[in-house]
């Protein structure tokens, strides 16, 4: 199955635009309940204005909220960004930490966001289970769980560790392009023979 996904999506990668770990962290916080495309539209200007955690400390939460207006939960996200920037400055010397436990202490950062940052910014093998990974993994029988963490554990068991990050992106691509939540394109899917929804 992974071989098929590799053939279908050989260039699968993180679609959140970023040039460093801090930008990726902010973009991932912003991506909750929002499309990567919409986040990229917002961060195009945001990352020109705020280049480091310290830049967020000189403006109000209200200003940050205005800068990210148009994204879902923008008021909550502006609070999380402001608090995260303060912690990065005060505790981590203005740098994004490369350890899960440190990342998960940041406001707006849960396991999924930590996995995205660890995998894409630090090269740490990880599988971030978002809505696409959860849906596709359970439809294709890569996992059998109604729980996100359990789905992640099952994927980590059956996918070789060195393939976690790439497989994660390939599963997301499949979920965004073929295995849609509503009206999946089953006739175009090369994995329908193993799909629990299709069979």
Report yes or no on 77 lying in a domain. Answer: yes
Q: Please enumerate in sequence order all residues whose Cβ is within 8 A of that of 69, keeping only pairs 6 or more positions apart, or say none.
A: none
Question: Which three-class secondary structure string do you get for 55-94?
Answer: HHHCCCHHHHHHHCECECCHHHHHHHHHHHHHHHHHHHCC
Residue 103 within a domain: yes
Same domain (yes/no): 94, 136: no
CATH no. for residue 135?
1.10.1670.10
Within the chain, how many helices (H) and strands (E) appear?
Answer: 11, 0
Domain C-terminal end among 78, 102, 122: 122
Chosen domain end from 63, 97, 122: 122
Mean pLDDT, the chain cut into blocks of 10 residues (199 residues total):
94 97 98 95 98 97 97 96 98 98 97 97 97 96 95 98 97 97 94 84
CA separation for the pair 125, 114 (Å, rounded)? 12
Predicted local distance difference test score (pLDDT) of residue 136 = 97
Same domain, 117 and 140: no
- Regarding whether 71 and 59 lie in a shared domain, the answer is yes
| Residue that the structure tokens 């440190």 belong to | 102
Q: Write down the pLDDT at residue 88.
A: 98
For residues 98 and 146, membership in a common domain is answered with no
Domain shared by 185 and 149, yes or no? yes
Together in a domain, 99 and 140: no
Task: Name, in order, each residue with C-beta under 8 angstroms of 5's C-beta and a sequence gap of 6 or more.
Answer: 167, 170, 171, 174, 191
Co-location of 137 and 114 in the same domain:
no
At 198 the pLDDT is: 73
Active-site residues: which are they?
112, 130
- Reading the block at residue 167, the tokens are 């497989």
Q: Which of 122, 141, 172 delimits the end of a domain?
A: 122
What pLDDT does 199 receive?
59
Give residue 109's domain range.
21-122
**Dihedral angle sign, alpha carbons of residues 101, 137, 26, 124:** positive
Are 158 and 102 in contact by the 8 Å Cβ rule? The answer is no
Binding residues for [4Fe-4S] cluster: 179, 186, 189, 195
Per the structure, the count of domains in the chain is 2
114 and 135 both lie in a single domain: no
């Amino acid at each position: 199955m992974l071989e098929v996904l590799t053939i279908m999506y050989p260039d699968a990668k993180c679609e959140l635009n970023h040039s460093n770990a801090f930008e990726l962290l902010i973009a991932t916080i912003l991506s909750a309940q929002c499309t990567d495309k919409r986040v990229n539209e917002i961060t195009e200007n945001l990352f020109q204005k705020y280049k480091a955690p310290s830049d967020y400390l000189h403006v109000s939460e209200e200003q940050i909220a205005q800068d990210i207006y148009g994204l879902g939960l923008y008021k909550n996200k502006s609070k999380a960004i402001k608090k995260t920037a303060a912690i990065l400055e005060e505790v981590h010397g203005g740098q994004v930490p490369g350890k899960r436990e440190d990342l998960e202490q940041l406001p707006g950062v849960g396991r999924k966001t930590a996995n995205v940052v660890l995998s894409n910014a630090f090269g740490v093998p990880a599988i971030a289970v978002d809505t696409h990974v959860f849906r596709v993994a359970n439809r294709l029988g890569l996992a059998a769980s109604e729980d996100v963490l359990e789905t992640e554990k099952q994927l980590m068991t059956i996918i070789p560790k060195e393939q976690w990050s790439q497989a994660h992106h390939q599963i997301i691509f499949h979920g965004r392009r073929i295995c849609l939540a509503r009206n999946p394109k089953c006739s175009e899917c090369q994995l329908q023979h193993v799909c629990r929804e299709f069979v």
